[in-house]
Amino acid sequence: MNPPASRTAQLDDLSSRLASEYMFIQIGSDEGLVPCYSLLTDMLDLVSVQEPLGQSLAEVRQKLDILLTAAQPVDGDTKGALQRLLDWLPAALTEVAAGRDPAPLDGVGGDATSEDVSAAAAEPETADSASGFVDEVLDLNLEENRDLLVEFHAEALDHLSQIESALLVLDGAPQDRDALDGLFRSFHTLKGVAGFLRLGPMNRLSHEVESLLDLARSDELRLSPGIITEILRSQDALAVMVEQIGIALEKGRLPDQIVPVAHLIAKVQQLALADAEEGNQEVEVCELTPMPTPSTETAQSAAASVKSSGSNTVRVNTGKLDSLVDVVGELVIVQSQLRESAAGLQNEGSPLGRNLAHLHRITKDLQLTAMSLRMVPIKPTFQRMVRLVRDLSREVGKQVVLETSGEETEIDRTVVEEIVDPLVHMVRNSLDHGLESPEQRLEAGKSEHGTMRLSAYHEGSNLVIELSDDGRGIDLDRVLQKARDKGIVPADVTPPKSEIVDLIFHPGFSTAEKVTDVSGRGVGMDVVQRNIEVMRGQVSVTTEAGQGTTFLIRLPLTTAIIDGLLVKVGEDRFILPAIMVQVALRPDPDAISTVQGQGEVLLHRGRLLPIHRLHQRFGIDAAVEDPAKGIIVVIECAGQTYGLLIDELLNKQEVVIKNLGAFMQNMPGVAGGAILGDGSIALILDPAGLTAA
């Protein structure tokens, strides 16, 4: 009798969640042990330990139980058992849904029964009895994974090319360590991402080849021509599946044909087994009855497709892109200098003037194109956070929705890679500590569904990423007491609210009542701050008891082009980001006054704005002292509006931000430098930093 559909759906859901939690499993760490153990327990509540499925689940759970009881971190054997279980579960659950017993899990379930053998023999077109893997159509889940699949497709094309090149090198020089290591890394990456996207056939095939290559890396196996042939065949099969992904992304046509890999998995496993039996010898391919596989023409077509699919995009080393942007920046500077030098030599409508104007247009287009090459939307990163929230909310028993905005905001590709870990820490802390349980929310008069919001936007010369929740907020009294207990804050000192909030970034600081696998070990927020500071960014927190908490990450642009206002103070010139400037005016003397507790202010459109004197900030002599004789630039940034006193407003122009190096890298109020048309250097100001200094 087939199992109830509800039980099948529950098992599928628990299996998916187990696969998600496995991503956090690392050898030498206990992170992920508790949720994996809990999920296995939930699955065993749905099946009997007398069933083959239950027996395999119980055996793996016992390995985790031993580690948890002894308070030991994950070891290689346990992680391997979990990986084998995850590789086996999709096919096993398919068999269970059909009312059949699955083949036993290698190393766990014991010998195969006669029923298993009969079932395998009855379905020779989809399963290989030697590998235990059931061939299936590639399930892309295109609607949910589209953006991630776009990234994976481009990376996979690159890895397939590298795999082929490395194999050709190893065919002539089997001892080439660099080629072997590169080959292993490519299969390892394909396995990991395919597992994350739940592309079962790609994940399992890549995993088995990776395991075989690991034997070669540890000098337990020598790569013979026969082994290399089998790996090349595996690469051909992966190429066909990558082609299917490309067609789905381009034409919306989902895969409807099975790419057989079970026979390839069986051969790779046999090669590893032969190595275990025969020792460190050259192992040739043993012929097995092959499953239907792509013909030579199909494989050649797939290879051609890989090349043609990659022709629309070119993967370029980011260092080369940095060089290109720097060179274009220098070109812009020279073009500006040429225009200034020729200012007195040309008449209106002269050929020189027309040529310089044409050069300016071309240079500007080149500049914008060069800058755009490194920019990518933040949407895939946000999508990963949506999936993380979905999985973690189920784990901790909370009902949470993550709302996102600004997904098309473009940021530098290197920033995308570096911002993932800080965001993961922040999301996990907000969900575990910030949001209440459904019961607590109802008691507080809130909806039982918690809400988290993740947004990205540009603010002047900064990229801002904002994460907020509508939870309980940070208990500042408890934070302060914990800080006093740890000796961080003296018992007789009560810091301002902003300083108390900042204590959560202190290394090892945590107010969690208990340590969970999600958060609470006190090793998260200090890591967040450190990683963001490495990117020359800042992280700040605002919180209200019972209302929620907001984290703001501000990341400065290290190499960018901005519209700037060139201003003069004394004999020095500065550049203000034009996007932050509301208006520039020469104030009426009656509009300037001094207010107790606020200092010098400007009455502007019915509002009193604080005035900051730029010459005082940088110690500039011979500058205008009387605001009525100078210019006040009204600036809005970081949620505040103020007036900045300068001597003159010179002009508006595009400038290239240049990094000032380590000496001036962290100077408050300075975002970078720019070379002007006459060759002099002007500091680019960070208006938010000017008031914080």
pLDDT of residue 290: 34
- Asked if residue 136 lies in contact with residue 200, where contact means CB atoms within 8 angstroms, the answer is yes
Percent helix, strand, coil in the chain (nearest 5)?
Answer: 50, 20, 30
Establish if 286 belongs to a structural domain.
Answer: yes
- Asked if residue 472 lies in contact with residue 436, where contact means CB atoms within 8 angstroms, the answer is yes
d(CA 542, CA 289): 65
Q: Same domain, yes or no, for 450 and 527?
A: yes
Note down the domain range covering 662: 561-692
Q: What percent of the chain has pLDDT over 90?
A: 16
d(CA 655, CA 153): 36
pLDDT of residue 111: 36
pLDDT digits (tens, 9 = 90+) for 400-441: 988 999 988 888 777 777 888 889 888 988 898 889 999 999
pLDDT digits (tens, 9 = 90+) for 228-269: 888 988 998 999 999 999 999 988 889 988 988 988 988 888
39 or 329, greater pLDDT: 39
pLDDT digits (tens, 9 = 90+) for 52-89: 888 889 889 888 888 877 778 888 888 888 888 988 88
Establish if 131 belongs to a structural domain.
Answer: no
What pTM was estimated for this model as a whole? 0.46
Q: Same domain, yes or no, for 323 and 304?
A: no
Q: Same domain, yes or no, for 484 and 335?
A: no
Q: Same domain, yes or no, for 587 and 654?
A: yes
Establish if 685 belongs to a structural domain.
Answer: yes
pLDDT of residue 280: 44
Q: What confidence category does residue 348 fall into, taking pLDDT thresholds of 50, 70 and 90? A: low
What is the mean predicted confidence (pLDDT) over 592-600?
A: 84
pLDDT of residue 643: 92
pLDDT of residue 307: 42
End residue of a domain, out of 61, 88, 122? 122
Q: Same domain, yes or no, for 16 and 158?
A: no
Position 287, amino acid: E
End residue of a domain, out of 524, 540, 556? 556
pLDDT of residue 580: 77
Tokens representing 99? 């009312």
Q: Same domain, yes or no, for 341 and 278?
A: no
pLDDT digits (tens, 9 = 90+) for 447-456: 999 999 999 9
Q: CATH code at 92?
A: 1.20.120
Q: Same domain, yes or no, for 38 and 178?
A: no
d(CA 349, CA 503): 64
List all residues 6 or more positions away from 233 whose beta carbon is below 8 Å from its beta carbon.
264, 293
pLDDT of residue 524: 60
pLDDT of residue 595: 85
**Closest alpha carbon to 541 in 505, 509, 510:** 505
Q: Same domain, yes or no, for 350 and 298?
A: no
Q: Give the range among 200-209, 266-275, 392-401, 568-577 with minimum mean pLDDT.
A: 266-275
Top-ranked range on mean pLDDT: pick from 44-48, 180-184, 320-324, 333-337: 180-184
Establish if 137 belongs to a structural domain.
Answer: no
Q: Give the range among 100-109, 488-497, 507-516 with minimum mean pLDDT.
A: 507-516
pLDDT of residue 689: 77
Q: Same domain, yes or no, for 368 and 390?
A: no
94: phi then psi, degrees, rounded to nearest 5: -65, -45
DSSP tag of 291: P
552 or 321, greater pLDDT: 552
pLDDT digits (tens, 9 = 90+) for 156-182: 988 988 898 888 788 878 888 898 999
Q: CATH code at 352?
A: 1.10.287
Distances (CA, A) of 392 to 24, 86, 194, 395, 518: 12, 19, 21, 5, 8
Q: What confidence category does residue 570 fall into, taking pLDDT thresholds of 50, 70 and 90? A: very high
Tell me whether residue 473 is exposed, middle or buried, using C-beta atoms within 10 angstroms of its C-beta: 0 to 12, 13 to 18, 19 or more.
Answer: middle
Distance of CA 26 to the CA centre of its chain: 18
Q: Give the long-range contacts of residues 108-114, CB within 8 A, separation 24 or more.
A: 108/55, 108/56, 108/59, 108/60, 108/81, 108/84, 109/52, 109/55, 109/56, 109/59, 110/55
pLDDT digits (tens, 9 = 90+) for 30-39: 777 877 888 8
Establish if 646 belongs to a structural domain.
Answer: yes
Half-sphere exposure of 197 (CA within 13 A, CB side): 29
Q: Which helix (H) or strand (E) covers residue 456, if one does?
A: strand 449-459
pLDDT of residue 560: 57
pLDDT of residue 331: 85
Q: Same domain, yes or no, for 169 and 53?
A: no
147-160 burial: b if 16+ Cβ within 10 Å, else e = bbbeebbbbbbbbb
Q: Same domain, yes or no, for 112 and 150?
A: no
pLDDT digits (tens, 9 = 90+) for 469-492: 999 999 888 888 888 888 888 888
Q: Same domain, yes or no, for 209 and 306?
A: yes
Establish if 133 belongs to a structural domain.
Answer: no
Mean pLDDT of the chain: 79
End residue of a domain, out of 492, 521, 556? 556
What is the mean predicted confidence (pLDDT) over 529-548?
A: 82
Q: CATH code at 482?
A: 3.30.565.10
Establish if 134 belongs to a structural domain.
Answer: no
Domain count of the fold of the chain: 5
Q: What confidence category does residue 312 fall into, taking pLDDT thresholds of 50, 70 and 90? A: low
Inform me whether the pLDDT recorded for 128 exceeds 90: no
Inform me whether the pLDDT recorded for 583 exceeds 60: yes
Inform me whether the pLDDT recorded for 519 exceeds 70: no
Establish if 265 belongs to a structural domain.
Answer: yes
